[in-house]
Amino acid sequence: MALTGLETLQVLGQDATGAPAATTEQTTTGAIAALAALEGTSLKETAITTVGAGTLTAAALVGGQIARSGPTSAFSDTTATALQIIAALPGYIVGETFQVLIKNSTGWVQTILAGVGVTLPTNVIVPPYTASLYFVTVNSPTAVTLVHRSEAPNNMQNVSFQGSTSGAIVVEAAAVAGSNTATIQAATDTFVMRATTDTLTNKTLTSPTITMPTVSDMINQDTLIMPTAVAAYNTTTLFTPTGMSVALTAGGKYEIDGRLLVTSINGNGLVAELIGTGGLTLTSANIQSLVYNTTAIKATTNVTALSADLVGFANTCTMLDFSGTLVVNAGGTLGLSISQATAITTSTTVAAGSYMKVSRAS
């Protein structure tokens, strides 16, 4: 007699190890005929382009190949439910298996999540630009299991390595002309990246090009030279000549030395004093000064009191040398200011070439 496809049969399948199953399952001649019709059919690729999280539909999974694109960051895709996957099959026998290739064409990690009734393997990561092959087994009318079989790059521009517990690292070749060879040393070690912070050992630099760093402890090393002569005339108000001030970037201890050249002096002498502005004040100072009359030392002054002038010297003096250390509270401007000791309508003149040097003390 002719078969209608509705005839029922009891069939004995195989378990996961390939051994005969413990029990038989009922099926129909129509379902067996549908399975036979699937033999030799080609894969059907389904494109899923959802931006962000998406769904691996039953039709796409049963079709055998999924091309995933669209996301712009790491994303997760959830499978259809087991009932939906089984319903999409033209017929099934419990224990039957089909395969599906999931191609991640994005530059981001794809994570597979399980729909209801779907059991996933430990490996649920599809790295960027990689295709992963899964076997899908029908366990019962309401349950399916995915088993990860293998994976391979979609192209040879990159290689992906899965993390021990999650995520992946993609090694990708830069756009280059011609071919290059990168040799990995035979050693158990950790790669050093260009932008990471690392401590290097056992490294020898041969003729390196090194950019000089900006080091805060080496600031203000240049000598400040007064470009033109400056005259104090009929004033006891301190002022800072052009070129005789320096910006200190931070508080701390500094060394200072300099020389004032005097071409004429009136008003009972010249007053010279270190002045801080812009938030800078002197918290301590130890300045030694030598006052010269032509070539002979006229006087020696040791200034430690912050309220005192650096030095004041008499009409016959022609040069002042000073050196020592000082401590400032914060960054700001330190200047060497001058005035007459007594206001008089005859100029007291400091000559061009007078200088001051300030450097950070260790």
The pLDDT value recorded for residue 242 is 83
CA 30-36-40 angle, 5° bins: 150
- Tally the domains of the chain: 2
pLDDT category at 307 given cuts 50, 70, 90 is very low
Q: How far out from the chain centre does Cα 144 lie?
A: 44
Choose among 118, 58, 55, 48: nearest CA to 88: 58
Structural domain of 280: 220-360
Query: Do residues 224 and 135 share a domain?
Result: no
HSE value, Cβ hemisphere, 13 Å, CA-based, for 165: 0
DSSP 8-state symbol, 185: P
pLDDT category at 315 given cuts 50, 70, 90 is low
Contact 99, 64 (CB under 8 A): yes
Examine residue 210 and state whether it is found in any structural domain, yes or no: no
Q: What percent of the chain has pLDDT over 70?
A: 77
Examine residue 58 and state whether it is found in any structural domain, yes or no: yes
Examine residue 103 and state whether it is found in any structural domain, yes or no: yes
Average pLDDT of the chain to the nearest whole number: 79
Query: Do residues 242 and 159 share a domain?
Result: no
Question: Helix-strand-coil percent breakdown of the chain, rounded to 5?
Answer: 5, 45, 45
Examine residue 124 and state whether it is found in any structural domain, yes or no: yes
Residue 329 pLDDT > 70, yes or no?
Answer: yes
Query: Do residues 29 and 157 share a domain?
Result: yes
The pLDDT value recorded for residue 112 is 95
Query: Do residues 110 and 50 share a domain?
Result: yes
Contact 236, 270 (CB under 8 A): no
pLDDT category at 217 given cuts 50, 70, 90 is very low
Q: What CATH number does residue 307 fall under? A: 2.60.120
Query: Do residues 293 and 157 share a domain?
Result: no
Query: Do residues 225 and 165 share a domain?
Result: no
> What gap in Å lies between CA 323 and CA 259, rounded to an integer?
9
Q: Render pLDDT for 251-287 as a digit per residue (tens, 0 to 9).
A: 888 888 888 888 887 756 777 888 888 888 888 888 8
Rg for the chain (alpha carbons), in Å? Answer: 43
Lowest mean pLDDT among 3-7, 157-161, 179-183, 231-235: 157-161
Query: Do residues 337 and 277 share a domain?
Result: yes
Query: Do residues 258 and 163 share a domain?
Result: no
Mean pLDDT of 291-308: 56
Examine residue 1 and state whether it is found in any structural domain, yes or no: no
Query: Do residues 26 and 163 share a domain?
Result: yes
Choose among 266, 257, 289: nearest CA to 354: 257
Residue 206 pLDDT > 80, yes or no?
Answer: yes
Residue 5 pLDDT > 90, yes or no?
Answer: no
Examine residue 204 and state whether it is found in any structural domain, yes or no: no
Residue 169 pLDDT > 70, yes or no?
Answer: yes
Among 148, 171, 194, the domain-final residue is 171
The pLDDT value recorded for residue 59 is 94
pTM over 0.85: no
